[in-house]
Amino acid sequence: MPADAISGTVTVIGLGADGWPGLSPAARAAVESAEVILGSPRQLALLPSTPSALVAWSSPLSEGLPRLLEEHRGRQICVLASGDPTFHGIGTTLVRLLGADAVRVIPHPSSVSLACARLGWAQDQVQVVSLVTNPAERLHPHLQPDRRILVLSRGAQSPAEVAELLVARGYGSSEFTVLEQLGSPTERVRTTEAADWSDAVDPLNVIAIRCPADAPILSTVSGLPDDAYEHDGQLTKREVRAVTLSRLAPVPGQLLWDVGGGAGSIAIEWSRHHPSCRAIAVERDPDRAKRLERNAAALGAAVNVVEGAAPAALDGLEQPDAIFIGGGATASGMVDACWNALRPGGRLVANGVTLETEALIAQWYKTFGGDLIRLQVQRASAVGGMTGWRPAMPVTIWSVTK
């Protein structure tokens, strides 16, 4: 929606669980002068009687918001948000729709700042994970020894889901605090170990997790153990995976195509690099595609699995910043399709273990340039009563920047 779709500015008010008494004079004045007030039914119920038109959000909000703004064009609009509107809130959505000049934001302390104040935690040392629109599995990359995590809940069911995940991951002894209705007269804070959590909870809650210092480690650095994945042998092995990802060079906010995904290890470890990293894994085998989805969920990775044979299955996908060709490299037109789809400055990496794939990689290297290496890993293994080296198949890795 263009910025001139409405007259003047939309004012976004951060509203706490304490409602009207917790608003600043400037926020109260903005609400009182509004002709139309948009918010959730819970938020609207926190306001005193007003002559303004009160409009509850439609669902889904992402689809209904532009329509509501258009419907009330030319009127003084006030939008109610939870806490700080630009922290996982509707403030950023409105700026994206209307432009920064058309949106005025009056923030309130966020649930994160309130939770840290109650717990005595330093905000800059806390990892925040939102489960409002994400599954609980997105917590996995952040579960590390002695870390402090604040979870923005989706509702009353979130604490039980998170506690169950922590126990399954070996983090059942984590200090587990649920903070409900922060800032309101009915505020409540309860602490236990994750393994002992079983209480009913208010839908408006935040979860604080203090991980134990001796908890299991599953690093976000490339090269997870091979046994972290469910696979049928179609897996880029640990050492090769680490080198491959170093060439793909994950960058926050960027998108990877993992073509011929197999077990999904490249796409998953790209996504675990940073919460904003995303990946699309293309896999033609239905069983492997389902296995890939299970691996992504188990490791908390933002991977979208597309079932189909490349290069045809690549048509219509979002343009990538990096592409890994791990399977199907010999398919006709594969590299041309990937190269043409890649953004300028994007990285393309292809691995090969067969003579046929190596021959094609050599041709691509001659045509596009880049870097070509051959990697072989040897592992110590028993040889009778002694120990010797058993070599794995060598892997040819071609990497190039567009």
Q: Write the single-letter amino acid at 45.
A: A
Domain edge (last residue) among 210, 244, 275 = 210
User: Of 53, 79, 108, which residue sits at a domain end?
Assistant: 108
Query: b/e map of 16-39 (b: 16 or more CB within 10 Å)?
Result: bbbbeebbeeebbebbeebebbbb
Same domain, 231 and 363: yes
pLDDT for res 154: 93
Do residues 314 and 341 lie in contact, with contact meaning Cβ atoms separated by under 8 Å? yes
Q: Residues 193-203: pLDDT tens digits?
A: 999 999 899 99
Q: How confident is the model at residue 113 (pLDDT cuts 50, 70, 90)?
A: very high
Residue carrying structure tokens 């690549």 = 314
What CATH number has the domain bearing residue 182?
Answer: 3.30.950.10
Does residue 220 fall inside a structural domain?
A: no
**119 and 90, same structural domain?**
no
Question: Domain check: are 104 and 174 in the same one?
Answer: no
91 and 161 co-located in one domain: no
Residues 155 and 199 in one domain: yes
Could you tell me if 204 and 311 lie in one domain?
no
Are 76 and 117 in the same domain? Answer: no
Contacts of range 36-41, beta carbons closer than 8 Å, 24 or more positions apart: 36/72, 36/75, 36/76, 36/77, 36/78, 37/77, 37/78, 37/79, 37/80, 38/68, 38/77, 38/78, 38/79, 38/80, 39/15, 39/79, 39/80, 39/81, 40/80
Q: Does a structural domain hold residue 191? A: yes
Say whether pLDDT at 106 is over 70.
Answer: yes
Give the model's pLDDT for residue 89: 86
Is residue 217 in a domain?
no
Q: Is the pLDDT of residue 3 over 50?
A: no
The pLDDT assigned to 62 comes to 67
What is the value of pTM for the model shown? 0.87
Residues 6+ apart with CB under 8 A from 57: 38, 39, 40, 64, 65, 68
Distance CA 263, CA 305 (A): 11
Are 284 and 361 within one domain? yes
Residue 166 has phi, psi (to 5 degrees) of -60, -45
Task: Note the pLDDT tens digit of each residue in 250-268.
Answer: 999 999 999 999 999 999 9
Residue 22, both tokens: 């917790």
Q: State whether 183 and 163 are in the same domain.
A: yes
Q: Can you give the pLDDT at residue 262?
A: 93
Question: 7 lies in a domain?
Answer: yes
pLDDT of residue 8 exceeding 70, the answer is: no
6 pLDDT exceeds 60? no
Residues 203 and 261 in one domain: no
CB 361 within 8 A of CB 350: yes
Kindly state the tokens that stand for 370. 């880049």
Q: Does the pLDDT at position 38 exceed 70?
A: yes
User: If you average pLDDT over residues 105-116, what whole number do you get?
Assistant: 94
Range of the domain at 137: 112-210
Query: Is 221 inside a domain boundary?
Result: no
The 10s digit of each residue's pLDDT in 119-152 is 999 999 999 999 998 999 999 999 999 999 999 9
* pLDDT on residue 5: 41
Q: How many domains does the chain have?
A: 3
CB 211 within 8 A of CB 147: yes
Question: Is residue 58 predicted with pLDDT exceeding 80?
Answer: no
What does the alpha-carbon distance between residue 115 and residue 97 come to, in Å, rounded to a whole number? 30
The CATH number for 314's domain is: 3.40.50.150
Gap between the Cα atoms of 118 and 153, Å rounded: 17
- Residue at 215 is within a domain: no
Q: Where does residue 316 fall: left (phi above 0), alpha (psi -120 to 50 degrees), or beta otherwise?
A: left
pLDDT at 51 over 80: yes
pLDDT value of position 328: 86
Q: Are both 356 and 291 inside the same structural domain?
A: yes
Res. 226 pLDDT band, cuts 50 70 90 = very high
- What pLDDT shows up at residue 7? 47
Last residue of a domain, one of 210, 243, 269: 210
User: What is the identity of the amino acid at 253?
Assistant: G
Sign of torsion, CA 245 249 254 260? negative
Tokens matching residue 401: 């920047």
What CATH number is attached to the domain comprising 71?
A: 3.40.1010.10
Q: For residue 144, how many other CB atoms are within 10 A of its CB?
A: 16
**pLDDT value at 191 more than 80:** yes
CB half-sphere exposure, 47, CA atoms < 13 A: 29
Bridge partners (DSSP) listed for residue 212:
none
- Residues 99, 17, single domain; the answer is yes
In which band, very low, low, confident or very high, does the pLDDT at 390 lie, cut at 50, 70 and 90?
Answer: very high
